[in-house]
Each structure stands twice: as structure tokens, then as C-alpha cells.
Amino acid sequence: MRVIFNESLKAVADDLDHMARNVRDAIHGAGQALLNADLDAAQTVIDNDAETDALSTSIVDQCVELLARQNPVATDLRVVVSTMRLAITFERMGDLARHIAESARRTYPDSPLPQEIVDTFAQMQQFLDVTADRLVTMLADRDTKVADQIIHDDDVLDDLHKKTLEFAQSEDFPGTNPQLINVVLIGRFMERLGDHAVSAARRVVFIVSGFDPSKEPDRDEGTDID
Amino acid sequence: MRVIFNESLKAVADDLDHMARNVRDAIHGAGQALLNADLDAAQTVIDNDAETDALSTSIVDQCVELLARQNPVATDLRVVVSTMRLAITFERMGDLARHIAESARRTYPDSPLPQEIVDTFAQMQQFLDVTADRLVTMLADRDTKVADQIIHDDDVLDDLHKKTLEFAQSEDFPGTNPQLINVVLIGRFMERLGDHAVSAARRVVFIVSGFDPSKEPDRDEGTDID
């Protein structure tokens, strides 16, 4: 039984790593689409999201199967339940990256954003690119140090997000209303990508250390319009 | 063992019903706050969200405990896993209702919305009020007819949401930029509340019938700026 369990768990962990790499690629691609008006990149992100969704469904199914057949307890159970939740979080991250890519496709060949705020979004994207790479490393190596970095650094993204909202609220906002809507929604999608990365990082800390991340305060604290 | 399992499952089902009632109250209260500038209602929604979060954590813990001690299979396993996922969905719905209440508190005693679009938001709220009541009934009675209604009717909310975005994009938008941001974000929060209700309804259909709702197309199809 133990051998079967470990083999099954290895298979589902491989799928989860695959999902994390997909999400990383989607985040990188969404940034290319957003900042470089790269239509191919946008389309690739949009097309590939279906595979990420399918992986999520498959991972949850495999976990349910493992629970039924192997009755894992203690650490093994923690890993299986956390794997399910990580898959659901990654699926959502894929959706958010797709939304950003869709925004870029919609306004192509123009940028969805007014020029004056592109630099702030480029900083947010740079942050998310690093976070996306960290997600993959964290998961492949079960590395809680990398997870801690993700959790610790998230304030940087929140501050940048606040800057974009202040810009959007200014009376002399230089763009059109559709651009203003893009600033607000794309900013929110990026902030939520950061929140989900933190939630994933907490879950990896939980898997490795047994410290329960769900007892931590909620990350979505409604800084949306602050 | 079977008796213990049924008793434990009954306890967690009661907590999930409790959570659904909390979410219903939060949705009703957020609507009061948004449409009637009701500061008390806003504050109540914001304050009560902590209890909803705590219930979610407790439900997931109880489900993990059940998986460890009782090794449920087949329908029982399906119910336990779906219960965990419903708790996570309800927690997110509580967050979204809180965000709407926070928007109303921020602009009190003024409305966060320009007068010209209030009627459309009132229609969205009316829709969500009905959906919130249906969620409670659906869950208490494991009623797939009510679940089907939630799934079927969601297009109405999406159409109203599109109307608010068209309004926000119009060149002669009559409000300030902060009001425009509120139209976009509150509209999105309400649309997401509808999406999560659909996801919860699919999960109840799955519990009762065994039909897997996760094989259905994703509900968050990026109609955000269409």
C-alpha cells in the first residue's frame, strides 16, 4: 500500500509542478501581451488556459481517488488536501493571467493602459515575474525559504497597486474611460495574482512544517480603492 | 463507526448551513449599504465577516478530521470533499460582500455610485438577494431544482453587469473618476458573487446526483470589459 501511495502521490505532485510551470508561463506571457502589445503572447496565454483547467480537474480527481483508496493520515493527508487546494489556487491564477491577456488582445495594437502609468504596471509585472519563478522553485523543492520570500514581499505589489488606483482617481487622469477601466481591472487582476501566490506559499509552508496557514489573516483585505 | 461518521457529518453540515445563512445576510446587508447608504448595515457586514472566515477554517478542519478517522468512500467521500470546497467558496463570497460594504462605508453619506446607474445596480442586487435566499434553501434541503435555477439564471446578472460596464465606458459618463472606479469594482464583485453561487450550486448538484460540476466550463469567462 505504501509503495502505491508514494507512487500515486509522486504522479499528482508531478502534475502540480506542471501546473505551476503553466501558471508561470501564463504570467510571463500576460506581461508580454500587456507591456509589449504582443498579440501572439496574448493568444498563447488564452489558448493554454484550457490545459491548466484540465490539470486542476485531474489533480483533484487523483486526490479524491487517493483519499478513497489509501486513507492517508497525518502528514500524508495534509499533503493530499493541500495539493487539492493548490490546484484550485493555480487554476484561478491561470484565469487571472488569461484576463490580462484578453485585455491586451482587446485593445491591440494599442496598449490597454495610458502611457503615463505603464511604468508602474511594468514594475508590478516585474514583481509577478519573480513571484512566478519562485512559485515553481518553491513547489519543485518544497522550499519554505522561497515561500517565506513570497509571503514577505507581497506588500511591494500592494503598494504599486495603490499607486495605480491613486492615478486612476486623479481628476486629471489623462486617458479615456475604457483605459481607466483597464487600469482598475488589470491592476486588480495583478494584485489578486499576488494574493493567490501568497496563499499558495502559505500552503507549502503548511505541507512542510505543519503550521496551518489558514489561521493567518485573510490576504484580500479590501485595499481595492484605498 | 457509521454512527460516528453520520454524527460528525451532521455537525459539519450544520456549520455549512450556518455559513450559507451568514453569506445570505452579508449579501442582503451589502445591498442595504450600497443602495440606502446604510452605515450600520455596512459595519455589520464588515464585522461579521470574521465569523464566516472562522467557520470556513473550522469546516475544513472537521472535514480533514473526518477523512483521517473515518476513511469515507464513494458518496460519503464526495460529500466531505464538496463540503470543503463549498466552505472555501462561501468564505470568498463573504469577502466580496464585505468589499461592497467597505465601498459604501468609504463614501458615506454619499453613494459610491452615480445616480444614473443606481437602478441597474438595484436590479443586480435584487438578483443577488434572490440568489442568496436560494443558496440557503438549496443547501438546507439539498435541493437540486433550486441549484438548477441558480445555474440557469446567472446570465441575467451577467447582462446587467455588461450594462454597467457600457455605462462606465461611455464618453459622457456623468460621474467622477472615483465613482467610475466604484462602478467597475462593485460591478465586478457582484458578478463574482453570482459566479461563486453558480459554482456552489454545481457542487450541490454533484453531491446529490454524482454529476461532476468541475467538468463544466469555467464560469469566469472574462466578460469583464466586453
Q: Does any domain span residue B69?
A: yes
Residue A110 has pLDDT above 70, yes or no: yes
Best interface-test mutation with B: which of A69, A71, A90 has the largest number of B CBs within 10 A? A71
Examine residue A205 and state whether it is found in any structural domain, yes or no.
yes
Q: What is the pLDDT confidence band of residue A223, given thresholds at 50, 70 and 90?
A: very low
A vs B, Cβ pairs < 8 A, gives 101
Is residue B215 predicted with pLDDT exceeding 90?
no
Residue B223 maps to a domain:
no
Q: Are A96 and A193 in contact (CB under 8 A)?
A: yes
Under a CB-based contact definition with an 8 Å cutoff, are residues A196 and A89 in contact? yes
Predicted local confidence at residue A215, as pLDDT: 55
Would you call A81 and B84 a contact, using CB atoms and an 8 Å cutoff? yes
Q: What is the mean pLDDT of chain A?
A: 93
Nearest-Cα distance to chain A for B126, in Å, is 24
Cα–Cα distances (Å) from B29 to A95, A155, A162, A214, B43, in that order, read: 29, 30, 27, 26, 9
Selected for mutation to probe chain A from B60, B181, B182, B185 (highest A CB count within 10 Å) is: B181
User: Is A98 in Cβ contact with B77 (below 8 Å)?
Assistant: no
CATH number (domain holding residue A110): 1.20.58.220
Inter-chain touch B185–A224, beta carbons under 8 Å: yes
Cell of A179: 483605459
B169 vs A60, A88, A177: nearest CB = A177
Q: Inform me whether the pLDDT recorded for B43 exceeds 90.
A: yes
pLDDT band at A89 (very low <50, low <70, confident <90, very high): very high
More confident residue, B191 or A171: B191
Contact B88 A84 (CB under 8 A): no
pLDDT for B225 equals: 33
The whole-angstrom separation of Cα A3 and Cα A7 is 6
Place of cell 509503495: A3
Q: Is residue B226 part of a domain?
A: no
* Residues from chain A contacting residue B225 (CB–CB below 8 Å): 103, 106, 178, 181-182, 185
Taking the C-alpha atoms of residue A37 and residue B217, their distance in angstroms, rounded to an integer, is 28
pLDDT over threshold 60, residue B206: yes
Q: What angle do CA B98, B28, B199 make, to 5 degrees?
A: 75
**Residue among A57, A181, A182 whose CB faces B215 most closely:** A57
A174 is in which domain, residue-wise?
2-215
- How many Å apart are CA B94 and CA A64, to the nearest integer? 27
Mind listing the pLDDT tens digit for each residue in A6-27? Answer: 999 999 999 999 999 999 999 9
The answer to whether position A220 is within a domain reads no
Question: How many domains does chain A contain in total?
Answer: 1
Q: Is residue A221 part of a domain?
A: no
Contact in structure between B198 and B154 (CB atoms under 8 Å): yes
As given in the structure block, the three cell numbers for residue A58 are 485531474
pLDDT at site B223: 36
Supply the ipTM of this predicted assembly. 0.91
d(CA A13, CA A7): 10
User: What is the rounded average pLDDT for all residues in chain B?
Assistant: 93
Residue at B139 is within a domain: yes
Instruction: Answer whether residue A165 is part of any domain.
Output: yes
